[in-house]
Amino acid sequence: MTVRGAVGLCARDAATQRVLALAAVCGLALGILELLGPLLFTELAGSRSGGSGLFGVVMAGPRRPGSRGAGGVARRCTCHG
């Protein structure tokens, strides 16, 4: 499928439009949180180094299960040589 075909499919399919709109809103919200998060954590911790460390720990937490899951899938995948 080409990009033109995908855009045409999205223009005709209401479910795909909703999924893409939801993905755009979630992406925008996550981008804003990642931009403003360090500033907010700096204020909470009272120092730049404490705030950045706390922000790093909080942001690493949700990524850990995803990386473990991806690693498990890669180990079980038999499609590579």
Predicted confidence (pLDDT) per residue in 25-61, tens digit: 998 988 888 888 888 878 877 877 777 777 777 777 7
**81 located within any domain:** no
Closest CA to 34 of 64, 62, 59: 59
Write out the two tokens for 28. Answer: 């925008």
Count of structural domains within the chain = 1
CA distance 59 to 62: 7
In a domain, 41, yes or no: yes
pLDDT of residue 63: 67
Q: Whole-angstrom Cα distance, residue 68 to residue 74?
A: 10
What does the pLDDT read at residue 25?
Answer: 92
- pTM of the predicted structure, to 2 decimals: 0.51
Residue 74 has pLDDT above 60, yes or no: no
Residue 10 DSSP code: H
Residue 67 lies in domain = 3-76
Q: Is residue 12 situated within a structural domain?
A: yes
| pLDDT greater than 70 at residue 77 | no
Domain assignment present for residue 49? The answer is yes
